[in-house]
Chain A
């Protein structure tokens, strides 16, 4: 393949692919500029962009954004570690499975947003309650992913590792973890999406900091351009997080070919 052509072709491909989004953006701008809809209900996209630049320059978006991301990361990290360990534990011990399985099954379908008021009751309005919420809300998808992955790992591999004298922990790390990885990562992806939903919901409902708080605050003050700017920022942060995660998964699972 020649070097010069490929990037150009890729660029025009991407343009054709994403043209509908461009079209939507233009329609938004036009609808608002031509007063087809009230500019209060839908401020022109260019005004929203300008408000975004101002929010970044004043530092409001960055401080609140960092505080949100910290909460999401911390909660998610805890959920991955604890949830993953729990799933592997359940897969490796029949007793653990008999004890914990029904509980996981009971709590898994629970709409996790119901936990928002309780975490506030326990830990107040700050970081702690959001981290706890995201941890509790995201743990079970990871647990189920790890459990399904570990349970499906090749019995023959486990037997041969054992016959070669591998210790239990060593074997989990070398044999069970890699073969459980695809399902586990699937669970983590669900958890990642959930973490954003729970983060923004809890910040919208009770918070004094973060993306959700900023959206509510700007909306209450009637600065709708800025509110739209933050809403779009959150939406695209969630989108980007998912794409980055998919890339990481691709790299992690490269050995499978």
Chain B
């Protein structure tokens, strides 16, 4: 009982700096030191978000942005794990893709956005393609590292007990590599969000990024700040959800038993 109380008190204490920041923002914005155009008060921003929620725009934009980000992320996950597994298990695949991955990973893929627009047009396909292009690299390298790190003794004993290739992959290699793969996904997810927002800003239309650019063009600073808050909340929620998923999936793993954070 006291434990729960203690925890509750602690999480409340952690909220204090955030509340303080919002109060300071409100006071500063109302003080007249800056114009409401430069920095609208949080109450004004909240009002704007509320209005957007009432007329339904907010939910359409969030749904569209999430759809693009998550479809792209899902494709990057499957593609990245498949490619990474192939590279870890097959010499020819490794020879062919290794230089492409090692040169492509540090490249700012977002520079290819105009090329992708030229090829695939202005709609969802090109946005999702950009997300995949950017998010797949961390998944591939994490999968390779994860599979390479599986203990040899584990492989030997599985072979000894007569495991076939397919069983080895699904029952030994991928589960043992899962912690690293999940770390790769935790890197890829924020990248997917950054990219989806940029593509939406660039191409316009529905979506949180597009709505922000629209507001910016009409010099509607409340709309711009509302967009930032919305995108920040979405980002925070997805990253937190990913951490929960990790704990769930790795409940069997040492990591969970040790109670390590993040």
Interface residues of A (CB under 8 A from B): 16-21, 24, 41, 98-103, 106-107, 109-118, 120-122, 193, 196-197, 199-201, 204-205, 211-212, 215-216, 219, 224, 227-228, 231, 234-236, 238-239, 241-243
Contact = CB atoms under 8 A, between A and B. Distances in A.
Given A102-B15, A110-B236, A201 B110 contact: yes
A106 B228 CA distance: 13
B194 A112 contact: yes
By size class, the interface of chain B is: 35 or more
B235 A109 contact: yes
24 contacts: A17-B98, A20-B100, A41-B118, A98-B13, A103-B18, A103-B21, A106-B18, A106-B232, A109-B190, A109-B240, A110-B232, A111-B232, A111-B235, A113-B195, A114-B231, A116-B201, A193-B108, A199-B108, A201-B198, A212-B111, A227-B115, A231-B114, A239-B103, A242-B106
Given A117-B212, A204-B202, A239-B103, A111 B111 contact: no
B142 interface: no
Given A20-B96, A106-B18, A242-B106, A224 B224 contact: no
A238 B108 contact: yes
Given A99-B17, A204-B113, A231-B114, A110 B235 contact: yes
Contact of A106 (B106, B209, B236): B236
A66 to B, nearest CB: 17
A128 to B, nearest CB: 14
A111 B193 contact: yes
Contacts, number: 149
A235 B225 contact: no
B228 A115 contact: yes
Contacts of A117: 201, 212-213, 215-216, 224, 227
Contacts of B17: 98-103
B216 A120 contact: yes
B197 A114 contact: yes
Contacts of A235: 107-109, 111-112
A37 to B, nearest CB: 9
B99 A18 contact: yes
Contacts of B190: 109, 111
A18 B101 CA distance: 11
B252 interface: no
A101 B100 CA distance: 38
B162 to A, nearest CB: 36
Contacts of B99: 17-21
Given A20-B97, A239-B103, A215 B231 contact: no
Contacts of A114: 197, 208-209, 212, 227-228, 231-232
Given A110-B232, A114-B232, A204-B113, 19 more contacts: A18-B99, A19-B99, A20-B95, A21-B103, A100-B17, A106-B232, A111-B193, A111-B197, A111-B234, A111-B235, A117-B213, A118-B228, A200-B108, A200-B111, A201-B110, A204-B110, A205-B201, A215-B111, A228-B115
B122 to A, nearest CB: 13
B239 interface: yes
A205 B195 CA distance: 13
Contacts of A234: 108, 111
Contacts of B197: 111, 113-114
B112 A24 contact: no
B38 interface: yes
Contacts of B16: 102
